[in-house]
Amino acid sequence: MLKNILSGSDCASCKICCIFDKYDIWETPVLDDDLKALVSERFPEVKFVGKDGGWLFRMEEAPDGLYYCPVLDSNTGCMLGDEKPFDCRIWPYRIMELGGRQVISIASICPTMYKKPLEELCAELDKNGLADKIFAHAEKHPEIVKPYEDGYPILRVKSE
């Protein structure tokens, strides 16, 4: 979804958004029922936990103290390809709620996007109606909306 601003090669060489620590484990993607069913069929060993009407991958802490997404292949990246969760397709944009309003913010942990000028990050949200698509998806799947986290720059506020 962000192919014109975030190259596949940048993502392939990074994968930071698919590996979590105890401080950002809340960032794990939310799956809907259909995607959970698809993942269960392809990867029967993957386990889930329910959250707010959606599903999170159950991740066990690895010996290095990190939590690796169970559908991350260390060589090839995400094994879900274009069927990855919506959260992952819009990463590092995040949809959050602040004071009853939905906002689109950006995660500073993405080394490629976070160094881009703010105006480029905002302009990307207008291209092809990306911000509208994010808000529309959140309308159908409110489980993907996370509480606002301090330090996440807000790029867009949903109009009332």
Which residue, 93, 94, 78, is CA-closest to 18? 78
- Residue 123 CB, nearest distance to ligand SF4 (Å)? 24
Residue placing its CB nearer to ligand SF4 in the complex, 71 or 134: 71
Residue 130 is a binding residue for ligand SF4 (CB under 6 A): no
Residue 54 is a binding residue for ligand SF4 (CB under 6 A): no
Provide the residue type at 153 as one letter: P
- For residues 53 and 100, is the Cβ–Cβ distance under 8 A? no
Which residue, 54, 53, 87, 51, is CA-closest to 69? 87
Q: Token pair 């094994």 is at which residue?
A: 79
- For residues 150 and 26, is the Cβ–Cβ distance under 8 A? no
Q: Residue 52 carries which DSSP code?
A: T
Cα end-to-end distance, the chain, whole Å: 25
C-alpha–C-alpha distance, residues 46 and 78, integer Å: 14
C-alpha–C-alpha distance, residues 15 and 74, integer Å: 9
Residue placing its CB nearer to ligand SF4 in the complex, 56 or 155: 56
Task: Report residue 5 as tokens.
Answer: 């601003």
Residue placing its CB nearer to ligand SF4 in the complex, 29 or 92: 29
- Residue 25 CB, nearest distance to ligand SF4 (Å)? 12
Rule CB under 6 A: choose which of 35, 71, 110, 121 binds ligand SF4: 71
Stretch that binds ligand SF4, among 43-51, 58-66, 76-84, 108-116 (CB under 6 A): 76-84
Residue 92 is a binding residue for ligand SF4 (CB under 6 A): no
Stretch that binds ligand SF4, among 77-85, 100-108, 112-120, 144-152 (CB under 6 A): 77-85
Residue placing its CB nearer to ligand SF4 in the complex, 83 or 98: 83
Residue 94 is a binding residue for ligand SF4 (CB under 6 A): no
Where along the sequence are the contacts to ligand SF4 (CB under 6 A)?
A: 18, 29, 69, 71-72, 78, 80, 84-85, 88
